[in-house]
A = this chain, B = another copy of it.
Amino acid sequence: MVTFNTKDFEKMDKRYRAKFINSLSGAKSANLIGTKSRGGQTNLSIVSSAVHIGSDPALMAIIFRPATVPRHTFENILDTKIFSLNHVSEEFFEKAHQTSARYPREVSEFDAVGLTEEYVEDYFCPFVKESALKILMELKEVHHLQINKTEMIIGEVKWVSAPRECLREDGYIDINTIGTMSVTGLDSYHPLKKGVRLSYAKPNQEVKTLDRDGLT
Contact = CB atoms under 8 A, between A and B. Distances in A.
A85 B23 CA distance: 13
Interface string A185-215: 1111111111111111111011100100010
A159 B189 contact: no
A97 B201 CA distance: 7
Given A145-B53, A163-B1, A201-B100, A210 B190 contact: no
Contacts of A15: 170-171
A174 interface: yes
Contact of A2 (B85, B164, B190): B164
B24 A60 contact: yes
A33 interface: no
Contact of A49 (B4, B52, B185, B195): B52
Chain A at the B interface: SS class? mixed
Interface residues of A, number: 114
B202 A188 contact: no
Interface in A150-168: 150, 152, 154, 157-164, 167-168
A67 interface: no
A161 B9 CA distance: 13
Contact of A161 (B2, B163, B193, B207): B2
A85 B21 CA distance: 13
A40 interface: no
A173 B150 contact: no
Given A19-B168, A49-B52, 17 more contacts: A2-B164, A2-B167, A4-B161, A15-B170, A19-B172, A21-B157, A24-B52, A24-B135, A25-B29, A25-B51, A28-B52, A48-B52, A97-B207, A107-B203, A174-B188, A187-B198, A190-B193
19 contacts: A18-B171, A19-B168, A21-B54, A23-B175, A26-B30, A27-B28, A27-B30, A27-B182, A27-B183, A56-B148, A57-B147, A94-B198, A101-B201, A101-B202, A104-B203, A112-B203, A172-B187, A187-B197, A192-B193
